[in-house]
A and B are shown apart, each in its own frame.
Chain A
Amino acid sequence: MTLKLNYQLMNADEVSGTLETLADQIVSSNAGRPVVLLGIQRRGIPMSQRMAKRIAQKTGRAPQMGILDINLYRDDLTRVATQPIVRRTEVPSDIDDKDVILVDDVLYTGRTIGAALRALIDFGRMRTIQLAVFVDRGHRELPIEANYIGKKITTKDNEVVEVRLQEVDAEDAIYVMENS
């Protein structure tokens, strides 16, 4: 399997700009109420961190943060890899009645979010669970939609959307790659 670049979807400025826009949308939709940003491993974490900074700027109050690793909840765990990896999960203990925003880079089949929902059930009873994604690339296999979308595109089955963030990948950009 080799990946070759199809086209660049966003550059560094567009990436920063989109994250700020998402953060602003979250603030206005959740007028006044405190939100909890839960970044989904891995790139959801730097995403949520940057969004949290913007929210703090705008509202004067930093939102609660958390990390969610969904590897223990995948429904296709047995088909993922022979060597399962589990990463950090940190969910604030006082999550009842709060508005939780799941943050992830790409929304594709919806299975990752399905697993995240299963995970959150055991943590308490949240007031709402909302979803913020950078790119919605279609091809849903479950009835799941995002509340806040950075960019919506159509993709082919053999394409791969790569979101690159400074904190993890040493650059900010989004590329659409093709599997040949």
Chain B
Amino acid sequence: MKRKDLLGIQDLDRQEIIDILDTAENLQEISTRPIKKVPTLRGKTVINLFFEASTRTRTSFEIAGKRLSADVVNVTASTSSVSKGETLIDTARTLDAMAADCVVIRHGSSGAPHTIARLTKARVVNAGDGAHEHPTQALLDALTIRQRKGRLDGLKVAIIGDITHSRVARSNAHLLTKLGSHVWLCSPPTLMPVGACDLVTTNREFLHRTHSMEEALSGADVIMMLRVQFERMDESFFPSTREYFRCYGLTRSKVERAQEDAIIMHPGPMNRGVEIATDVADGPYSVILDQVSAGVAVRMAILFLMLGGQS
């Protein structure tokens, strides 16, 4: 990988994205072997620096690193230590002292990985920063879509939920429009960011926004439901979960507006009965479990491309 860090899909060009997906596909096979390990990243140190709790993403990166024989260390940093005076620069210096080759960072503040990346020699992978980006999520979503639909251009993808606070929505919007698919962002008016039309800077005509779930779902090839993040929301974005489910929840009858073979995705964890009905989540077109397996493959690809070459 020619760049030092993976901070956002915004920075990648079309070819880089395709190279990552191709590599991920070729590495996926390792997870099907009886001995799920290759020695490629032996002796490399990967640190999972998670300032925000997340079992699934952290575990996914851990498995990915270990399958490539890297030494993976989990560090749960608490943001409260920062308010005691420790700054991001101290964190970065500690990482260099530990001779980390790669740091995977998840943080509650947009831009934190950027700051750390500037201050450390280690290669930084953004595992989610505030509401800004979650690049590996978008990549695994893309891999899942590509494997199910055979392509990533010319699709209609509906992303439905709390767009304002969603880094998954932003990363996917960047990736899918770069590759030539139409992205429909759909949310209640209170959860659509001012400036949503200017979210992407290339292929802008591929990005659409609507408050109507019917419009978003009509003829969609891919339906991506976002988690309603109660812990991130202030009061007054929406009166109640019951009302949210009625207006923006994905039910069987609403799914029928989409293409017959539309796939249903969710970054997880799901709030069953809030943004997605249980029967839809467990139905035949739900690819939520495929996303998990794609996640390990994509993260293996990222670690391999970053650390597997000339040091």
- Contacts from A to B (Cβ < 8 Å): 69, 72-73, 77-91, 93, 118-119, 122-124
Check B29–A90 contact: CB distance below 8 A: yes
A76 to chain B, nearest CB (A): 11
B40 within 8 A of A: yes
Check B309–A122 contact: CB distance below 8 A: no
Interface of B is mostly: loop
A71 to chain B, nearest CB (A): 8
Known contacts A122-B35, A123-B35: A84-B26 contact under CB 8 Å: no
Check A86–B311 contact: CB distance below 8 A: no
A93 to chain B, nearest CB (A): 8
Check B311–A77 contact: CB distance below 8 A: no
B83 within 8 A of A: no
Bound complex: CA A86 to CA B26 (Å): 7
Q: How many A-B residue pairs have CB under 8 A?
A: 58
Which B residue's beta carbon lies closest to that of A69? B26
Check B309–A73 contact: CB distance below 8 A: no
What would be 27 A-B contacts, judged by CB atoms less than 8 Å apart? A72-B38, A72-B39, A72-B304, A72-B308, A73-B38, A73-B39, A73-B40, A77-B309, A78-B309, A78-B310, A78-B311, A81-B309, A82-B2, A83-B2, A84-B305, A86-B26, A86-B27, A86-B304, A88-B26, A89-B26, A89-B29, A89-B30, A90-B29, A119-B38, A122-B33, A122-B37, A122-B38
Contact of A123 among B2, B34, B39, B40 (CB under 8 A): B34
A32 to chain B, nearest CB (A): 27
Which A residue's beta carbon lies closest to that of B305? A84
Check A86–B310 contact: CB distance below 8 A: no
Known contacts A72-B39, A73-B39, A123-B34: A84-B304 contact under CB 8 Å: yes
Check A118–B26 contact: CB distance below 8 A: no
Bound complex: CA A81 to CA B2 (Å): 12
A79 to chain B, nearest CB (A): 7
B306 to chain A, nearest CB (A): 10
Which A residue's beta carbon lies closest to that of B2? A83
Which A residues touch B38, using CB under 8 A?
72-73, 119, 122
B39 to chain A, nearest CB (A): 6
**Chain B 90-140 residues near chain A, CB threshold 8 A:** none
Which A residue's beta carbon lies closest to that of B38? A72
Bound complex: CA A87 to CA B29 (Å): 11
Known contacts A69-B26, A88-B29: A77-B308 contact under CB 8 Å: yes
Which B residues touch A123, using CB under 8 A?
33-35
Interface of A is mostly: loop
B302 to chain A, nearest CB (A): 12
Known contacts A72-B39, A88-B26: A79-B310 contact under CB 8 Å: yes
| Further contacts, 6 of them, CB under 8 A, given A72-B40, A80-B309, A83-B305 | A72-B38, A78-B309, A81-B310, A82-B2, A86-B23, A124-B34
Bound complex: CA A89 to CA B308 (Å): 17
Which B residues touch A80, using CB under 8 A?
309-310
Bound complex: CA A154 to CA B152 (Å): 50
Which B residues touch A85, using CB under 8 A?
23
Known contacts A69-B26, A81-B309, A86-B26: A118-B304 contact under CB 8 Å: no
Bound complex: CA A83 to CA B27 (Å): 16
Check B26–A83 contact: CB distance below 8 A: no
B147 to chain A, nearest CB (A): 15
Bound complex: CA A145 to CA B236 (Å): 74
Bound complex: CA A32 to CA B186 (Å): 64
**Chain B 32-75 residues near chain A, CB threshold 8 A:** 33-35, 37-40, 68
**Chain B 258-310 residues near chain A, CB threshold 8 A:** 304-305, 308-310
Which B residues touch A81, using CB under 8 A?
309-310
Which A residues touch B33, using CB under 8 A?
91, 122-123
Bound complex: CA A82 to CA B35 (Å): 28
Bound complex: CA A84 to CA B68 (Å): 14
Contact of A77 among B1, B26, B34, B40 (CB under 8 A): B40
Contact of A83 among B30, B34, B35, B309 (CB under 8 A): B309
Which A residues touch B304, using CB under 8 A?
72, 84, 86
Bound complex: CA A69 to CA B304 (Å): 15
B139 to chain A, nearest CB (A): 16
Bound complex: CA A73 to CA B30 (Å): 13
Bound complex: CA A79 to CA B68 (Å): 18
Which A residues touch B1, using CB under 8 A?
83
Bound complex: CA A123 to CA B33 (Å): 7
